[in-house]
Amino acid sequence: MTRVADRFRHGFDAEVVRAWIADDPDPQTATTLEHILAEAESGDEAAIADLEDRFSGPLVFGTAGLRGEIAAGPNRMNRAVVIRAAAGLAAFLSDTVGEGFRVVIGCDARYKSAEFARDTAAVITAAGGVAIQLPDQLPTPLLAFALSKRGADAGVMVTASHNPPADNGYKVYLGQRPLQAIESDPAAALAGAGAQIVSPADALIAEKIAAVESVASVARAESGWEHLDESIVEEYLSRIDDLRVRAEADLSIVLTSLHGVGAGVAEAALTRTGFTDVHPVASQQAPDPDFPTVSFPNPEEAGALDESFALAREVGAELIIANDPDADRFSAAIPDESAATGYRQLSGDEVGLLLGEDAAGRLEESGSHGAVFANSIVSSRGLAAAAASHGFAAVNTLTGFKWISRVPNLVFGYEEALGYCVDPAVVRDKDGISAAVTFAALASRLKAEGSSIEAELDRIRNRDGYFATAPLSFRLDDVSLIATAMAKLRENPPATLAGSPVAEVHDLSAGYEGLPPTDGILLLSESNSRVIVRPSGTEPKLKCYLEVVADPSELQAAADADARAAASAGVRLPAASASASLKPALKERLTSLSTELKTFFAL
């Protein structure tokens, strides 16, 4: 069989497009390419440029699997690309595990997700594997859970998480047997079982995908794969029961799934944990791949929680819980009279600190030893300080849960981008449902004790110091500017950060404190302010992570200064927390860092 080319070699080539069309199993995308090709052959420059982009190369398969716009052509997400990817994965598993390898497959509610999942099951079955398909439209954590519970060799989740509506993706996880075949360290294979792929697995699978001659050469079964029923959801909910987190006080909660697939499972999990006053955001609870009420279906984005804030004001909610569309991330907001919306959305670092402190406290009470906490290097250093206060170890990893979740002896891990792992024994990935339930239980316990989320943050900061963080991103249409900006930073880094001399510059591409090389730069000032700059792995962004630190003595000094000023003015002020007293100064330092970086990059 003639190999079907997956790129133009020397500019526009109509024959390459025709061959791809003939090999495309989807009449819709084939017809689209036929129309564009006709326009290109008539001399339409826009059509030629479009095809040159679609055939610039195959969609890159890496540690994030596949992710891209749903459209026709090799550099897009479509059935032809997915079938090739499934064939490559099957060949890899056949080589490492042998016949009868087991693959669990799940999908969200995005366009084409169900088709991509079925195509994967058909390819796996025909290749001699055992395909186990989850019910359609379940959260990503259910896929990771099913992989562990079923002892599968791999898992495939068809999702683009919180990407725009036009996108879809293909996430791959590996079980223990294939990792044992490719890892020289047995402990690494065990620790990584159930997690998303990292090197060298990504490159090995990519090689197999590249070796696929055509879609027509890939056998696909008509049936014969296993279909799990809704009992897998009950198994997952039973595992949340085993976490032994329960409502300890009545708590009014507003819940949104942002048009994703998490609503039913999240509501059931909250109910089983004892939360009865839950108010779903009705307009956003049903899965909808168009995400009609939000401009960007990501809880981190401005405006994403507007409808949640409106409902929370109406019902007087004490907590807002928001999941992203595939429910592997979770965001929380709490009442705040000073905020225009009446609520303050907590940062990922604040939620990570609170969940980590909660886990460490419970482990310390039980007398546990050897537990390890972890967060990505771009997340706050506050978790490490909290873990140390309880006598536990904490480690940094590279960005992404594919790294966090494979830390040996992990009990809790998080990343600042709203990802939290509270039960790594069975879900080796971020899980926005179990994390949300655990956080709600924490909020209810604090309420029962006469405390609050803000008071708990203050208590931790008074003990360990105040680690204040802020993100800064540059979204760029011209992605070449990202490499230019990184080169500029490497060649001539800033001499100061918020007025403090830069004491250390670390190029993360050379490795850092035992971490594998990655594209990034870390700057540390004499005042312990830190900036990390890296290209985004999933979006056309240059991302900067800013952190400023105040030790406990600074917190107390700020509170004392506020008290003296009030007394001198003859004014009686309500008792304020020490961290609240210092917050404006830390915010000013973060603003200064942000301004300096904007000027430095001039993007």
Region of 57 (left: φ > 0; alpha: ψ -120 to 50; beta: rest) is: left
Alpha carbon 330 to its chain's center: 10
Query: Pick the catalytic residue: 161, 405, 525, 581?
Result: 161
Is the four-CA dihedral 361, 366, 368, 374 of positive or negative sign? negative
> Is there a catalytic annotation at residue 376?
no
The type of residue at 274 is G
In degrees and rounded to multiples of 5, residue 548 shows phi and psi of -120, 150
Q: Which of helix, strand or coil describes residue 116?
A: helix
- Token match 């985004």: residue? 536
- How many of the other CB atoms lie within 10 Å of CB of 602? 7
Distance CA 128, CA 335 (A): 55
Taking alpha carbons only, the member of 44, 109, 45, 111 closest to residue 76 is 111
Helix (H) or strand (E) holding 410: strand 410-415
Helical H runs in 107-172?
Answer: 113-126, 140-149
Stated length of the chain = 603
* φ/ψ (deg, to 5) at 199: -65, 140
Q: Are 194 and 147 in contact (CB under 8 A)?
A: yes
CA-based max dimension of the chain: 90
Q: Are 107 and 139 in contact (CB under 8 A)?
A: no
CA distances for 255 relative to 281, 283, 297, angstroms: 6, 11, 15
Half-sphere exposure of 507 (CA within 13 A, CB side): 10
CA atoms within 13 A on the CB side of 117: 27
| Active centre residues (catalytic) | 161
